Amino acid sequence: MLATLHRIVQAVNSAPDLNSALQVIVREVKRAVKADVCSVYLTDYEKHRHVLSATHGLRQEAVGKVSLPLHRGLIGLVCERAEPINLDDAPSHPRYMFVTDTGEMPYHGFLGVPVIQNRRVLGVLVVRQRKPRKFEDNEVTFLFTLAAQLAGAITHAQAQGELSAAPGSEVAQMRYLDGRPSASGVALGSVVVTYRMDDLEAIPDRRTDEPEREIAQFRDAVARVEDSLRRLQSRLEEVLPAEEKALFDALLLMLGSDNLVTQTIERIRQGEWVQSALHHTIEEHARVFDQMEDVYLRERASDIRDLGRRILMRLQSDTPREVHYPERTILVGEDVSGVELMEVPPERLAGVVSARGSSASHVAIIARAMGVPAVMGVTDLPVTRMEGRELVVDGYRGRVYISPTAAVLNEYRRLIDEERQLSQELEVLKGLPAETTDGCKMPLYLNTGLVSEMQSLEANEAAGVGLYRTELPFMVSDRFPGESAQIANYRQVLESFSPRPVILRTLDIGGDKSLPYFPSQESNPFLGWRGVRVSLGHPEIFLTQIRAMLRAAVGLDNLRIMLPLITTVGELDDAMLLIQRAYDELLDEGVAVTMPQVGVMVEVPAAVFQVAALARRVDFISIGTNDLTQYLLAVDRNNPRVAELYDELHPAVLKALVMVAEGAAKFNCPVSVCGEMAGNPLAVVLLLGMGIDGLSMSAGSLLKVKWVIRSFSRARARQLLQAALRMEDAPPVKLLLKGALEEVGLGALVHPGK
């Protein structure tokens, strides 16, 4: 049964649309469990019905026409209970309903399994038997597994439906795709799809104006792949076992087959650009093999896809990627990276949408820093079909509207006006001190890593730079930047803020920040080789960076160095020794460097519990709440599936912050916060109450946070903190803080975009 399951899952996953996926399921399930009928009902909550959407065994004409009431019958019961119901004699059950217009007869055996996604029942998969029959356990689990696959196919198809729905139709009016709100703001613009070069499935659909030129390119690429395969084959002739040789023959045969080549050419002639024409042809062929019973033949599907990738790579090596970015570009991708975001000319970037990632992903942080709305984790995003579409990105609610209707557009234009109004209200705060109503000062610093952010007008508001992410310049480079390139970079930021202090954080790569020229494959990257662990593993990289920092600061004296992801005092001691060594070397070389203040980030729970040992050794502590939240709550900050659990107002996070603030105070070690929490108006009240000494955030948050600081007394903030610490979950904390902000007239910060 496992092989059958595998085959059906493959076929469902590669079905071109929901209808085909449903057809495969009902046909194959009926056959596999030897039932008389297999049907799928999809639940329409608005109409309160379960609609017969596919069947094998009942009348085909009933499909799409017959539907059952939401809360009646056995199908209704499966939906209500959200668990399987297995009956050997269905007609004797009190909820049994006899439906005539499906061509039904009194079936006895009944097994109904709910199709569930994110705790919501989307439909019911059911098998029926004329004779009494209790289905076996393994048959129940078989249906269960398929129902889970079906759930994915249904949500995906609903997302695809956004694209095919006629403009102005009911579907187009209502529908939007949900993701995680990741950078506030609203944007309207046109989509540019970004994708990994070697990923055939990620190729966006585009049109071509030059079919003949692209056909020639394609023929050339095919000829060159054929040639390279032949050469490889003859080189390996002696060493290859027979079955591997057969693989080469098979690949060459496919390449020579008229179908693959002529079908692609036909698609190009009809106006598809060469890369997506290739993608669609390859998929069509691979799908035929995906559905084969024979394991050996099924494997041929991956050979076809491999062939497709080879041709694709040839095509791409001939045509350098030229991207035209429209005036209001919304960058869309399966897994948009920080570098891809930075490649868009900043004046053209209006928003970003990614199928993967969450609000704590680094690309979201960069989007916030650049002041563009972002929605991450839109898992059902039909990426490849979105190129050139009009899009509304709602970064407040985490919604994306594809080809929005006039009504949606009007609503969002109104929100954009409201935003403009809020910015004007904030303008009056410029130049005013960040000071509570009872005279307590809270310095606000800037988080940066990009030159464009430092040049923003709000940057003048900052008391200095609280976090300079040095890895960003490393990420946009094609090799490790040398000492002098780094000096130039650091000098620029130190000079532009002098005499205000600038905290340069040492290289923090790993996790979701990788360097293309320094790849590392790990199954658990966030628990792996990242932050200071990489620097200590490669002292030559670390020493070069420290030397560059020290030399860049000569004559300025506003440099501070900060170490990320410290987990043990041993790591801190080792890093300190290396800093001392770089300093001594430079003095020996006659460079007039001074020893800067050195601090650590508290981002790992272990560091919270060892705050005393750390505080004794350093000049300052900065809490990286992005990582600290991820590690305390065991929620991968980049994973949209668990993004709802990621909450910096979780009581455990608040208690950890209090521990750090109190622990460091005993050693007179100043503590600031540089995670995104410092720029969250709600959280700021609590940080104020904790006695945090400074807050560091992206430019766009500076004035909003200043508004909060100037609206509260420290005494009131302490009261609110005490109340929050008595709560057992994040939602009541959020409610408490929203109420407190509204009370002092800051409602606009609490409900932006509503």
Please list the active-site residues.
362, 674
> Measuring CA to CA, which residue among 111, 109, 114 is closest to residue 124?
114
Q: Which does 671 bind (CB under 5 to 8 A by kind): Mg ion, ligand PEP, none?
A: none
**274-290 vs 295-318: helix crossing angle, rounded to 10:** 170
**Residue 672 in the binding site for ligand PEP (CB under 6 A):** no
- Taking the complex as a whole, the smallest distance from the CB of residue 470 to ligand PEP amounts, in Å, to 10
In sequence order, what DSSP letters do the residues of 598-662 get, joined into one string? EEEEE-SHHHHHTHHHHHHH-SEEEE-HHHHHHHHHT--TT-GGGGGG--TTSHHHHHHHHHHHH
**Residue 371 in the binding site for Mg ion (CB under 5 A):** no
Nearer Cβ to Mg ion (123/624): 624
What is the Cα–Cα distance from 216 to 178, expressed in whole angstroms? 42
Which one-letter amino acid corresponds to residue 545?
Answer: Q
Work out the number of other CB atoms within 10 angstroms of the CB of residue 396.
Answer: 19
User: Count of residues for the chain?
Assistant: 754
Q: How does strand 444-448 pair with strand 180-183?
A: unpaired
Q: Using CB under 6 A, which of 365, 462, 660, 695 touches ligand PEP?
A: 365
- Taking the complex as a whole, the smallest distance from the CB of residue 452 to ligand PEP amounts, in Å, to 18
Nearer Cβ to ligand PEP (331/602): 602
**Residue 636 in the binding site for ligand PEP (CB under 6 A):** no
Nearer Cβ to Mg ion (85/602): 602
Q: Using CB under 6 A, which of 369, 674, 682, 705 touches ligand PEP?
A: 674
**Residue 449 in the binding site for Mg ion (CB under 5 A):** no
Residue nearest to Mg ion (CB): 627
Task: Identify whether the C-beta of residue 36 lies closer than 8 Å to the C-beta of residue 130.
Answer: yes
In sequence order, what DSSP letters do the residues of 366-413 get, joined into one string? HHHHHT--EEE--TT--GGG-TT-EEEEETTTTEEEES--HHHHHHHH
- Taking the complex as a whole, the smallest distance from the CB of residue 611 to ligand PEP amounts, in Å, to 16
Contact range with ligand PEP by CB under 6 A, out of 53-61, 547-555, 581-589, 622-630: 622-630
Q: Which residues pair with 505 in a beta bridge?
A: 469, 562
Q: Which does 532 bind (CB under 5 to 8 A by kind): ligand PEP, Mg ion, none?
A: none
Q: Which of the residues 584 through 623 are near Mg ion (CB under 5 A)?
A: 603
- Taking the complex as a whole, the smallest distance from the CB of residue 548 to ligand PEP amounts, in Å, to 19
> Measuring CA to CA, which residue among 310, 288, 302, 280 is closest to residue 204?
280
**Residue 361 in the binding site for ligand PEP (CB under 6 A):** no
Give the rounded distance of the alpha carbon of 420 from its chain centre: 28
**Residue 675 in the binding site for ligand PEP (CB under 6 A):** yes
What is the Cα–Cα distance from 297 to 32, expressed in whole angstroms? 20
Cis peptide before 499 (omega within 30 of 0): yes
Nearer Cβ to Mg ion (116/607): 607
**Residue 469 in the binding site for ligand PEP (CB under 6 A):** yes
- Taking the complex as a whole, the smallest distance from the CB of residue 450 to ligand PEP amounts, in Å, to 13
Q: Which does 73 bind (CB under 5 to 8 A by kind): Mg ion, ligand PEP, none?
A: none
Q: Tokens standing for 147? A: 């129902």
Tell me the number of residues near ligand PEP by CB under 6 A: 11
Q: Which does 365 bind (CB under 5 to 8 A by kind): Mg ion, ligand PEP, none?
A: ligand PEP
Q: Where are the beta strands (DSSP E) in 30-145?
A: 37-44, 49-56, 67-69, 85-87, 109-117, 120-129
**Residue 394 in the binding site for ligand PEP (CB under 6 A):** no
Work out the number of other CB atoms within 10 angstroms of the CB of residue 2.
Answer: 9
Contact range with ligand PEP by CB under 6 A, out of 19-27, 40-48, 458-466, 621-629: 621-629
**Residue 676 in the binding site for Mg ion (CB under 5 A):** no
Nearer Cβ to ligand PEP (624/753): 624
**Residue 624 in the binding site for Mg ion (CB under 5 A):** yes
Q: Which residues pair with 390 in a beta bridge?
A: 190
Site string for ligand PEP, 282-321 (x = CB under 6 A): ----------------------------------------
> Measuring CA to CA, which residue among 587, 535, 563, 555 is closest to residue 491?
555
Which one-letter amino acid corresponds to residue 290?
Answer: D
**Residue 627 in the binding site for Mg ion (CB under 5 A):** yes
What is the Cα–Cα distance from 730 to 184, expressed in whole angstroms? 20
Nearer Cβ to ligand PEP (143/572): 572
Site string for ligand PEP, 596-615 (x = CB under 6 A): -------x------------
What is the Cα–Cα distance from 408 to 405, expressed in whole angstroms? 5
Sign of the Cα pseudo-torsion (99, 104, 105, 110, in order): negative
What is the Cα–Cα distance from 109 to 117, expressed in whole angstroms? 26
Contact range with ligand PEP by CB under 6 A, out of 217-225, 520-528, 618-626, 715-723: 618-626
Q: Which does 340 bind (CB under 5 to 8 A by kind): ligand PEP, Mg ion, none?
A: none
Q: Using CB under 6 A, which of 275, 626, 638, 672 touches ligand PEP?
A: 626
- Taking the complex as a whole, the smallest distance from the CB of residue 376 to ligand PEP amounts, in Å, to 14
Q: Using CB under 6 A, which of 501, 596, 624, 679 touches ligand PEP?
A: 624
Where along the sequence are the contacts to Mg ion (CB under 5 A)?
603, 624, 627
Per CB under 6 A, residues contacting ligand PEP are: 365, 467, 469, 508, 603, 624-627, 674-675
